Amino acid sequence: MPELPEVETIKKRLESLVVGKTITQIEILHPKSFQGNVEQVIGQRIVALSRRAKLLQIILENGYSLLIHLKMTGQLIYEGATRVGGGHPTADWVKKLPSKHTRIIFYFSDKERLFFNDIRVFGWVRTLSPEEVKREFSKYGPDINDANLSASYLIEQFGRRSINIKQALMMNQIVAGVGNIYACDALNLAKIDPQKAAYQLTENEVVRLFEAAQTVINRGIEKGGATVENYVHVDGFAGQYQSVMLVYGKEGQACPNCGAKIIKMKVAGRGTYYCMSCQL
């Protein structure tokens, strides 16, 4: 269930394995997971991998792209000389593949395979022309770790929203890549109450939140993403952001900032961990 750092990690891991290889076949086990035209992909060499927001882009020689969104439970598992996995951590990472959650299998000319697994089937793989990719990306605000993103943009965006700041921070149309884990941690690091209306943040608070969000996202990328839930221990599979997590999943534990007990509550329908004593 990846956010930006997890997708970035998958991108980096897969890059050295698939760039330069030719896709010889695609086996679609679950039609809903694949939206596009297989003809645009078969026989094409992969020239590059890219990431925008939480989307992974596989760029093909003919200019078309495979765009992949893992949503909550998607996984990409590459099986070559070794197995490399990323995405929602389950036993599928180490089980025999295909598993019952395998929706799509990509075959390469060297007989190696890439499995797209997805338990809840929210995720998808699409084939898109360069124009369609552009249109898709234009629906998103700048990535949270985009070097060109400025605090003034966020001050302007948050300033005209009456929704709570946590929800605003997770809106990909405003700024892309921040999901529930990193939103909780960023708000704790910036000492801001997740329930506060976005427009009520002072400029200083927006700057603080912006910097905090970049800090936790970059930390996530450095740690290879987070691996929580049904973590299956296999070398190289799991990111380690959870070892430096601030508040996510830590109900009842001490706030890393002030030591008070971390509270769990619902904010806009999502589980939210925060510290009532220092996040104001």
Q: Which residues are catalytic?
A: 2-3, 54, 270
- Least CB distance to DNA at residue 197 (A): 8
Q: How open is the CA angle 7-27-138, to the nearest 5 degrees?
A: 40
How far is 101 from 115, CA to CA, in rounded Å? 10
> Which window, 11-19, 60-68, 173-181, 201-209, contacts DNA (CB under 7 A)?
173-181
State residue 94 phi and psi, 5-degree precision: -120, -5
Q: Does 225 bind DNA (CB under 7 A)?
A: yes
Among positions 153-172, residues that touch DNA (CB under 7 A) are 160-163, 167, 170, 172
DSSP 16-72: HHHTT-BEEEEEESSGGGEES-GGGTTTPBEEEEEEETTEEEEEETTS-EEEEE-TT
Q: Does 232 bind DNA (CB under 7 A)?
A: no
Task: Report strand pairing: 34-35 vs 124-128.
Answer: parallel
Structure tokens at 38: 């297989």
> Which window, 146-154, 185-193, 200-208, 221-229, contacts DNA (CB under 7 A)?
221-229
* # residues contacting DNA (CB under 7 A): 42
Among positions 7-46, residues that touch DNA (CB under 7 A) are 32
How far is 201 from 213, CA to CA, in rounded Å? 15
Among positions 83-112, residues that touch DNA (CB under 7 A) are 87-89, 100-101
- Least CB distance to DNA at residue 110 (A): 28
- Let me know: does 130 contact 65? Beta carbons within 8 Å: yes
How far is 255 from 278, CA to CA, in rounded Å? 9
Closest among 14, 30, 4 to 122, alpha carbons compared: 30
Residue whose CB is less far from DNA, 46 or 154:
154
Among 85, 98, 141, 179, binds DNA (CB under 7 A): 179
- Least CB distance to DNA at residue 123 (A): 9
Residue whose CB is less far from DNA, 96 or 111:
96
Residue whose CB is less far from DNA, 47 or 171:
171
Closest among 251, 246, 245 to 263, alpha carbons compared: 251
Residues that bind DNA (CB under 7 A): 1-3, 6, 32, 53-54, 69, 71-72, 87-89, 100-101, 119-122, 139, 160-163, 167, 170, 172, 179-181, 225-231, 239, 268-271
